[in-house]
Amino acid sequence: MNELLIIAAPDLVAKRREWLQSLANERRLSDNTLDAYERDTRQFLTFLTAHLGGPARLADIHTLRPADLRAFLAARRREGSGARSLGRHLAGLRSFLRYLERKGLVNAAAAGAIRAPKQPKSLPKPLTDRQALNLVTTDAQLQEEPWIAARDAAVLTLLYGCGLRISEALGLKPADLAPGSTTLRITGKGGKTRIVPLLPIVFDAVATYRKLCPFHIAADEPLFRGARGGPLQPAIIQREMQKLRSALGLPETATPHALRHSFATHLLAGGGDLRTIQELLGHASLSTTQVYTGVDSSRLLEVYDRAHPRA
């Protein structure tokens, strides 16, 4: 932010701050999305300063041309941004410019004239069911401290057994898993709430961790703790997953998020329908869930052969 204060005029800095606050308070975007939009607009204003030869002002934003935005995207591409990142850059800028337009400060036509880069089709890379089951056992964990090994196993089991995002798993509190619970209420992206089944094996994995954990954890505090008792950070689980990949001979695509992909893919292979899987994953759009149909083409062909009258 200090860099931005130097390179942008005070009027533009103030309006950008107002916009970011409105995204957090009114639209309730996730922290990750807010961080990305903050970073993207900061990079754009840094570029604009060099492009214009002076600190960017609201007046400069008002006179932006499509060519200016294309030049920014071209500069980001030269620095290594792919189509997905470029699309997010443009989405953030459009949001900011439309906010300023609603305030009567600029014309956002330049952003509307730019097409988003074509996104490459990429399929999730799930683990096999055997790989996933081996990964989430306590015995597979590399930590020598029993309670930490149980903790890691419990977190990974939640990702694979419930299809949670890592942030959702680490956001759980003891009150969310009361004795006898058979479901979990999860608040995901955008404050969207969903109910997911809590399998006995998942509940047992969490119960084992809670029994061994040396720290007292109040009902409304984060359930999963680091070695010193503070809330467990995602980077810790990601690093452990990296070590497990090496130890178990798993591919580089075996990440914590791949367990969520595996949850969906294995449900689809077992006969689950897309609409149900959409609800379990907390996807706002069915099109997001449909990505998984490309993973399990063998099952789709099997259904086709069995059901189509011309098969």
Decide: helix, strand or coil at residue 244: helix
Examine the residue annotation and report whether 103 is marked as an active-site residue of this protein.
no
DSSP structural state of residue 28: -
How does 95-118 read in b/e, with b if 16+ C-beta sit within 10 Å? bbbebbbeeebbebebbeebeebe
Residue of 165, 225, 261, 266 marked catalytic: 165
H helix count then E strand count, the chain: 16, 2
Cα–Cα distance for residue pair 197/201, rounded to 1 Å = 11
User: What residue has token string 């970073």?
Assistant: 39
Residue of 15, 225, 266, 283 marked catalytic: 283
Residue of 16, 76, 151, 260 marked catalytic: 260
Greatest C-alpha distance within the chain: 69
Examine the residue annotation and report whether 165 is marked as an active-site residue of this protein.
yes
**Cβ-contact 226, 210 below 8 angstroms:** no
Cα–Cα distance for residue pair 38/18, rounded to 1 Å = 12
Examine the residue annotation and report whether 160 is marked as an active-site residue of this protein.
no
Examine the residue annotation and report whether 266 is marked as an active-site residue of this protein.
no
One-letter amino acid for residue 283 of the chain? H
CA angle 45, 50, 51 (to 5 degrees): 85
Residue of 62, 88, 257, 299 marked catalytic: 257
**Cβ-contact 44, 99 below 8 angstroms:** no
Examine the residue annotation and report whether 292 is marked as an active-site residue of this protein.
yes
Which candidate, 24, 155, 197, places its Cα nearest to that of 99? Answer: 24
Half-sphere exposure of 160 (CA within 13 A, CB side): 28
Residue of 51, 88, 173, 189 marked catalytic: 189
Decide: helix, strand or coil at residue 143: coil
Examine the residue annotation and report whether 257 is marked as an active-site residue of this protein.
yes
Residues designated catalytic:
165, 189, 257, 260, 283, 292
